[in-house]
Structure 1
Amino acid sequence: MKYASIPFNQNHNGWLRETPASRPALRGDCEADWAIVGAGFAGLAFARRLASHNPNLKIVVVDAASAAESSSARNSGFAIGLPHNIGSSTAELKKAQDYRSLLQAGIDELKTIVTDRGIDCEWEKAGKYHCQADARSESVLQEYRDNLELMDEAYEVLDRETLSQKLGTHFYHKGIYTPGAVLLNPASLAIGLAATLPENVTLYDMTPVMAIHYGKINRLVTPFGTLCAPKVMLATAALSRELAPGISKQAAMATFASLTAPLTDEQRQRLPIMKSWGLTPVNAIAGATLRYTADRRILIRQHVVPALHGRVTATQTYAATRLHRATFDKIFPQFRDVSLTHSWSGTISVTRNGAPVWGALSGAVYTASGCNGAGISKQTIAGSLLADYALGYDNPLTATMLALGEANYLPPSPLLDAAIAGSLLKERWLGRKEA
């Protein structure tokens, strides 16, 4: 029997305030009405919506690690309500109205849960800066601005000097500020969402699914037991591709982030008076995503590598950390004495044409994946809508989700490996002045 690859980051999530209590692994044989593989934002949202529709359903969620160490908990902590470009691709901007409706619905859903269940995740509606360092990137920023006007969204165009007063750096040539984005601690959010699932949902940690035998009753094989269920939802994105029936439409990419120690009072004086902020670059492959947090730390997220089997080595993390240090010093030369205390990786699922992989894969097997970044709000609403879709509940946003189209076919390895390597080289060349 060929077993599925097990995702593994050889590093620790820097967002964790403390080591969270772990849930037990699945042991022995278990039966459920629904089996959900993956405790990220999509899987947790799917489980929550299923359970709310029918409290009599027995729902079991398994994760290879835990919600706290999932890729969802490892992202940069932007809950974004507006579409923007990923790399040089402007695929989301082509369907801006649809993405806006979905992303804002995702934020609204999360805000309700966070408020009602008292989840402490440092939720802050701080807005977002979308910036370019290279004056030649003007066309991408202009298309973003044009779409904001078409959507009648509030925004502000900022020049280098104004940005320096907002961000504490002269690195960026121009930027656009939009007020709607939420900044948060993604690990705290994931932990809170997992802890407040309805009573008819059971979550098992450290339970990787090694294989799935599909049939009238699907049998999920884990290291210490089996989970049998007539219906399955795969919330593994592009990880453990061996579990998904049908052709491949998505690939996993690893991204890396580092977080500084909190700035001392003396170091803080080197910045203008400013509030916490978040920044996305016009080229997310070559440029750096940045945050200045409420507790005076600076996050830098930069560097993307293929992770087709979901595994990131310590050597890759070390290389990314060295790149972060060099980029950080370039953006904030006044902080060469500020140390990077945490560095970690996470994975995103990318598709060839920017469309999601969403719906029924075959029979009673469903998925919500292919996020292409910005996964907090996007994957939350994708998971919730998929539950409505699977149970036959009418939701007007389902048509909006379907309007995003279908992801294109991706070739198998080694053609896929070569294609990804070529695409990354292209993006790094196009965005070489952005970091």
Structure 2
Amino acid sequence: MTLNISRTPRNDQTNAWSTILPHRTPHASLAQNIKADWIVIGGGYAGLAAARQLAQNCPNDSIVLLEAGICGENASGRNSGFVIDLPHTTSSNLDQLEGSHRYMRLARAATAALETNVRELGIACDWSRDGKYHAAVTAEGSKAMLEPYANELTALGEPFEWVESDVLAAKLGTTHFHRAIYTPGCVLMNPAALTRGLADTLPANVSIFENSPIIAIDYSNGIHASTQGGSVSAQRMILAANGFSEQFGYGKNRFVHLALSASLTRPLSPDEQSEFGVEKPWGLTPANGFGGITMRYTNDRRILIRQDIKVAMGQNVASRKTEAIARTHKALLANRFPSLRDVTFENSWVGYICMSRNGAPMFDNPAPNVWIAACQNGIGVTKGTISGMLIADKACGVENPLILDLEALGSPVQLPPRPLVEVGARATIGWEIWKNRAEA
């Protein structure tokens, strides 16, 4: 059976995390017909982790990783640069604590693996264990969302501290927030630099090809993947293309695709830094993920704003819309940091996340020679990394107790027809934004 691939990632060259980095020459595109023991599709966190783990599990096997674009330019390099170790959403139902423990085991294993690679391989990505603030704008938001979160952290035995308005303002450089919970385990980094570094330090038995989108794939008699310039034939495949997995015949009508917008400023000048008055870098996530705004202050004195979430089932937002995004983010920057209203953005961009209706990942072995790690439901740095590592272990028959943790999360459920999904998702997001507008 041959499938033609019609939708691939598009690089509009707007990702500021990448454009602020030194020039990097991508790995060559595939320009010949080759054979391998394994093929890995996708050069994001899941695919890179899977390829590295395969190489360690099977040092005598040849592994080919195909990336449609350039590593660090697609979704993995466009997030906000948080490596989060705790559950991202809260529940007042403390009976769900085992699920939280499971999530933390997975997230912390991923963080440890990434940190080992960063340190031992010398990946320059501004990796820094700064923790994060989970903040509410209003007293009502604090009561409704932060207090249940504090109860959960207490029940989990996790360290945290309340940071009140005046102290919080001194730490963040803005009086916009009422209250926050600070947790120390989060890592901040440049996601494009991390993804580049992981791609450029793969083991010797992994061959990586960038700018090599697959145009057709055949599953008869093994795996045969064709690009414009060549092909790869292998007996076994790990599919780590996240939302694009649908194109390869898996996950159809299981995924909701969302587009999130972000902007990154130029570095603050010495005078602006002095006026700002904040020395230590910080990361902030909103108590309400729909109505609130994610922000960061980086080690090189830049401010990130991520705000605006849209349904994007085609995983394609017109580049011209980034101009409107920049205007919105500029107003938000001026509102929160009046002394920095003249600071300009390096760039504004859109990144995509893949969600399932029930919040479950796709971690599957649907055919004897095919394994899938996809649908990270946000927080793709840790979820993608650990799913890639564990799917490689599963494919190689390596016993790892974390596989059971990941499998316990379930599988994506079937969705209604696409028009209904789009209407329903837009209505849900619109209602959440309106309902929580005070948290913006």
Report the TM-score range of the alignment, normalised by the length of the smaller protein.
Answer: over 0.9
Secondary structure, counterpart of 1:210 in structure 2:
strand
2:162 is the counterpart of 1:160: no
2:23 is the counterpart of 1:19: yes
2:144 is the counterpart of 1:139: yes
Distance in 2, matches of 1:307 and 1:92, equals 31
- Residues 11 and 69 in structure 2, CA contact (< 8 A), matched pair in contact too: no
Secondary structure, counterpart of 1:274 in structure 2:
coil
Q: CA deviation at 1:89?
A: 13
Q: Which residue of 2 aligns with 1:204?
A: 209
2:348 is the counterpart of 1:354: no
Q: CA deviation at 1:291?
A: 0.6
Q: Name stretches of at least 5 consecutive residues in structure 2 with no aligned partner.
A: none
Q: Show CA shifts across 1:268-324 (max 9, x none).
A: 122234300000112223321111011111011111122322222112222222221
Distance in 2, matches of 1:312 and 1:10, equals 10
Q: Report 1:320-359 matches (<5 A).
A: 320-359=325-364
Structure 1 residues 211 and 434: CA distance shift in structure 2, 3 A: farther
Task: Name the aligned partner's letter for residue 229 of structure 1.
Answer: A
Of residues 269-278 and 101-110 in structure 1, the stretch that sits farther from structure 2 once superposed is 269-278
Distance in 2, matches of 1:15 and 1:382, equals 24
1:35 alignment partner, one of 15, 39, 42: 39
2:147 is the counterpart of 1:113: no
Q: Report 1:263-278 matches (<5 A).
A: 263-278=268-283
Distance in 1, matches of 2:311 and 2:158, equals 35
Structure 1 residues 248 and 428: CA distance shift in structure 2, 3 A: same
Q: Report 1:296-335 matches (<5 A).
A: 296-335=301-340
- Residues 90 and 149 in structure 2, CA contact (< 8 A), matched pair in contact too: no
Distance in 2, matches of 1:184 and 1:215, equals 42
Distance in 1, matches of 2:320 and 2:95, equals 33
Q: What TM-score does the superposition give when structure 2 sets the normalisation length?
A: 0.94
Distance in 1, matches of 2:340 and 2:91, equals 28
Q: Which residue of 2 aligns with 1:6?
A: 8
2:73 is the counterpart of 1:72: no
Q: Show CA shifts across 1:230-289 (max 9, x none).
A: 222221111252213354322221212111111111111222343000001122233211
Q: Which residue of 1 aligns with 2:386?
A: 381
1:63 alignment partner, one of 38, 48, 67: 67
- Residues 357 and 412 in structure 2, CA contact (< 8 A), matched pair in contact too: yes
Q: Which residue of 1 aligns with 2:50?
A: 46
2:419 alignment partner, one of 414, 427, 434: 414
Q: Which residue of 2 aligns with 1:175?
A: 180
Distance in 2, matches of 1:90 and 1:378, equals 23
What count of residue pairs does the alignment treat as equivalent?
435
Query: Identity over aligned residues, as a percent?
Result: 39
Distance in 2, matches of 1:71 and 1:285, equals 19
Q: Which residue of 2 aligns with 1:294?
A: 299
Task: Name the aligned partner's letter for residue 15 of structure 1.
Answer: W
Task: Name the aligned partner's letter for residue 79 of structure 1.
Answer: V
Q: Name stretches of at least 5 consecutive residues in structure 1 with no aligned partner.
A: none
Distance in 2, matches of 1:394 and 1:176, equals 37
Q: What TM-score does the superposition give when structure 1 sets the normalisation length?
A: 0.95
Structure 1 residues 364 and 285: CA distance shift in structure 2, 3 A: farther
Distance in 2, matches of 1:115 and 1:41, equals 17
Q: Show CA shifts across 1:190-235 (max 9, x none).
A: 1111111011101111111123222231222222222222222221
Q: Report 1:121-136 matches (<5 A).
A: 121-136=125-140
Distance in 2, matches of 1:6 and 1:390, equals 26
Q: Which residue of 2 aligns with 1:366?
A: 371
Secondary structure, counterpart of 1:165 in structure 2:
helix
Structure 1 residues 399 and 139: CA distance shift in structure 2, 3 A: same
Q: Which residue of 2 aligns with 1:190?
A: 195
Distance in 1, matches of 2:195 and 2:119, equals 14
Q: Which residue of 1 aligns with 2:261?
A: 256
Q: Show CA shifts across 1:50-92 (max 9, x none).
A: 0001111111111111112121111111111111228999999
Distance in 2, matches of 1:358 and 1:106, equals 16
- Residues 83 and 92 in structure 1, CA contact (< 8 A), matched pair in contact too: no
- Residues 311 and 425 in structure 2, CA contact (< 8 A), matched pair in contact too: yes
Task: Name the aligned partner's letter for residue 67 of structure 1.
Answer: C
